[in-house]
């Protein structure tokens, strides 16, 4: 059966393990397309411009937003983050599926412009574990951790608006589930009735 290139959005609260999961997923499915988001936040140590993000000044972000260059953009934890249309188009032109790791608001905005995008929400096993992971990562100061935890409560309420929910309990297990979601949507458009038809044939 032909594989269809799709646009996937992976969202979830900060510290839930999106970056870790998506990096593992890319190792398992190297054919997935890579896009780099733009942001106005400062680079963390070791983050390279054009690799982790395109690090833009406020003025440059404004200019690109006004020029309509973003598929979506959102304020996240006091900074702006956005997906450049050109990044997505470049990957889709290669016939590859795209995985966007973006915040919940951005994910819902993508659905408005790309109605057949597949929205996957990554959930923590518990609120305590989310806090443990966020602190354990050691990249944020206390104020930023508090802001992210406060934001997480509102984000988790949006999980029901997503197409699929994956609990990131055990990393290997969650990655396998995510991989299965991607392959299912690529192979049969995510239509469960197709799967039932095949089972009957
Ligand atoms: P996000 O991209 O969602 O902000 P990260 O991928 O940076 O989150 O993960 C936050 C922290 O949690 C990292 O230190 C990572 O190693 C850890 N982590 C991710 N997934 C798991 C998991 N399933 N079990 C335990 N720790 C995890
Ligand atoms: P961080 O600062 O930890 O790299 O990312 C903070 C948040 O920004 C994460 O929740 C991440 O998913 C989100 N993010 C990263 N890129 C984009 C993007 O292009 N658009 C939107 N809306 N959110 C993004």
pLDDT in tens, 48-105: 999 999 999 999 999 999 999 999 999 988 899 999 999 999 999 999 999 999 999 9
Structure token digits, residue 100: 């966007």
- From 13, 39, 40, 52, give the residue whose CB has the most ligand 2 atoms within 8 Å, as the site to mutate: 39
Other beta carbons within 10 angstroms of residue 66's beta carbon come to 9
Q: pLDDT category, 196, cuts 50, 70, 90?
A: very low
DSSP H or E stretch at residue 82: strand 79-84
Separation of CA 86 and ligand 1 centre (Å): 29
Separation of CA 16 and ligand 1 centre (Å): 6
Give the ligand at the shortest distance from the Cα of 175. Answer: 1
Average pLDDT, the chain: 91
Cα 27 to the center of its chain, rounded Å: 16
Other beta carbons within 10 angstroms of residue 106's beta carbon come to 23
Question: Would the CA dihedral through 109, 140, 35, 1 be positive or negative?
Answer: negative
Mean pLDDT in residue range 42-53: 94
**Which ligand 1 atom is nearest residue 20's CA?**
6
Give the ligand at the shortest distance from the Cα of 21. Answer: 1
Alpha-helical runs (H) found in 29-95:
58-66, 85-93
Q: Are 182 and 8 spatial neighbours (Cβ–Cβ below 8 Å)? A: yes
How do residues 145-155 score in pLDDT, each as one tens digit?
Answer: 999 999 999 99
Task: Give the torsion through C-alpha atoms of 122, 125, 127, 128, to 10 deg.
Answer: -130
Residue 195 pLDDT > 70? no
Predicted local confidence at residue 191, as pLDDT: 54
The domain spans of the chain are: 1-33+97-194, 34-93
Cα 93 to the center of its chain, rounded Å: 20
Q: Are 139 and 172 spatial neighbours (Cβ–Cβ below 8 Å)? A: no
Second CATH level (architecture) for the domain 34-93: 2-Layer Sandwich (3.30)
The response to whether residue 17 sits with its C-beta less than 6 Å from ligand 1 reads yes
Predicted local confidence at residue 197, as pLDDT: 41
CATH number, domain 1-33+97-194, options 3.40.50.2300, 3.30.200.20, 3.40.50.300, 1.10.8.80: 3.40.50.300
**Which ligand 2 atom is nearest residue 38's CA?**
19
Give the ligand at the shortest distance from the Cα of 14. Answer: 1
How do residues 157-192 score in pLDDT, each as one tens digit?
Answer: 999 999 999 999 999 999 999 999 999 999 977 554
């Amino acid at each position: 059966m032909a594989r269809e290139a799709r646009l996937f959005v992976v969202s979830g609260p900060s510290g839930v393990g999106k970056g870790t999961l998506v990096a593992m997923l890319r190792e398992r499915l190297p054919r997935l397309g890579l896009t780099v988001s733009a942001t106005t936040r400062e680079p963390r140590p070791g983050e390279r411009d054009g690799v982790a993000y395109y690090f833009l000044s406020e003025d440059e972000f404004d200019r690109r937003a006004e020029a309509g260059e973003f598929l979506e953009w959102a304020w996240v934890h006091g900074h702006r983050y956005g997906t450049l249309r050109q990044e997505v188009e470049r990957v889709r032109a290669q016939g590859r599926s795209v995985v966007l790791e973006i915040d919940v608001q951005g994910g819902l905005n993508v659905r408005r412009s790309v109605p057949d995008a597949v929205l996957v929400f990554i959930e923590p096993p518990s609120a305590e574990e989310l806090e443990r992971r966020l602190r354990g990562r050691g990249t944020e100061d206390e104020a930023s951790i508090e802001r992210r935890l406060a934001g997480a409560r509102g984000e988790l309420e949006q999980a029901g608006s997503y197409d699929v929910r994956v609990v990131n309990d055990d990393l290997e297990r969650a990655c396998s589930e995510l991989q299965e979601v991607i392959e299912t949507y690529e192979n049969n458009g995510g239509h469960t009735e197709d799967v039932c038809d095949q089972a009957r044939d």
